[in-house]
Amino acid sequence: MARLRSPGALLATALAVVLLAGSFAMPALAEIKTQWVEYTHGTTKLKAYMAFDDKIAAKRPAVLVIHAREGMSQKTRDLTEMWAKLGYVAFAADIYGFGEGILPKTIDEMNAQTVIYTKDRPLMQSRTRAAFDALASQPMVDAGKIAAVGYCFGGAVGLEFGATGAPLALNIAIHGSFRDHPPGWAKNAKGMFVLLHGAEDTLYPLHTVDAVVQELRAAKTPFHLEVYSGTNHGFSTPKNKAEERANTQSIATAARTMKEVFGM
């Protein structure tokens, strides 16, 4: 059996494919800077992870990265840096309260955190708004050109945030955990939605994606849907060759759509 590559190697390969296929112009000496950004939501202290190329002087579009159930993990930070390498300001939102020391370690701890927000959608939405506002206030960001990219739990969070009428130019869900979204949620949504999903996702099967699609159709909200064969949930951490392919294709599609929407 062929050995699967490490997550870091997979991200590097996927990014190389995007750069070659999409004609992204990256400075030869580009160096990604990273920093923690402290902000608050009410009395809750939050801490986002921001990555950017400091050699770009002009304001630029930004990517609001919304983490999967593991929270502000190393993978979340690696993904944030990946989007920054395409020339964007990338900002990993702190949904759980990493600024207060919350970083789940076990599956049970992760699930306990997601339940807090899935049971309290207004909290989920306002917590995400706090991250969006913190990102939009950064002096290097063009606040009219912000995309959300959510993974797993983060895909559902992005959808809920979009339902508030948040001024997102683009809303991307990568193996989104879609569940129990209220009828008519898409009527106030702004920008374009991109749904990238595994055909064999047993946790969030295709009928859950179809429910999202039907709401977007009813609201006449633009969207793009891709479904990857042989691919289960969580393919951004691939478990087989089909999921490696899906991971690469999902990054390429997201990056290409950002380039089209942002005009860069």
Task: Write the pLDDT tens digit of every residue in 103-153.
Answer: 999 999 999 999 999 999 999 999 999 999 999 999 999 999 999 999 999
- Kindly report, residue by residue over 226-264, the tens digit of the pLDDT: 999 999 999 999 999 999 999 999 999 999 999 999 987
Tell me the angle at which helices 121-136 and 153-163 cross, rounded to the nearest 10 degrees.
Answer: 80
Is the separation of the CB atoms in 34 and 50 below 8 Å? yes
pTM (predicted TM-score): 0.90
In eight-state DSSP terms, residue 2 is P
Check residue 264 and give its pLDDT.
Answer: 75
Centre a 10 Å sphere on the Cβ of residue 31 and count the other Cβ atoms it contains: 8
pLDDT grade, residue 15 (50/70/90)? low
Q: Buried b vs exposed e over 49-63: b needs ≥16 C-beta within 10 Å? A: bbbbbeeeeeebbbb
Give the integer Cα–Cα distance in Å for 261 and 53: 20
- Indicate the helix (H) or strand (E) that contains 44: strand 44-53
Spatial CA neighbour of 158 closest among 105, 92, 231, 220 = 92
